[in-house]
Homo-oligomer: A and B are copies of this chain.
């Protein structure tokens, strides 16, 4: 009932998750590609994807070891499509979304095989070690 509505608006009430759906609006991506674009750890990205999926906003397709995520195209619950209709109104001139869009192009050019969850996780750890 109300829970569907609240679960979905809650899913869209976090900056990272809005960035993710904004990217997935343009093309499907796997977890490690999203890590590269967002600059976040694998468990973080995976958790956010779980929340968006649970809300019926995105869907997965497994191919080998990769999980490709894209916008949900079907009625998954009572409100998912209503909220998906809001996504085209996301501000295209937002600095965050613009930066993400540029990174998206790079990642698409490189291709899935050239993104590495392990490398990025290591890099993130080194960076936080140097900072702290």
Binding site for B on A (CB under 8 A): 1-2, 4-6, 9-10, 12-15, 18-19, 78-79, 82-83, 86, 89-91, 93-97
Contacts and interface: CB of A to CB of B under 8 A. Distances in A.
B97 A2 contact: yes
Contacts of A86: 79, 82-83, 86
A84 to B, nearest CB: 11
B13 A6 contact: yes
B1 A18 contact: no
27 contacts: A1-B91, A1-B95, A1-B96, A2-B18, A2-B19, A2-B91, A2-B96, A2-B97, A5-B12, A5-B18, A6-B12, A6-B13, A6-B14, A6-B15, A6-B18, A9-B9, A9-B10, A9-B12, A9-B13, A10-B13, A12-B13, A13-B13, A78-B91, A79-B86, A79-B89, A82-B89, A86-B86
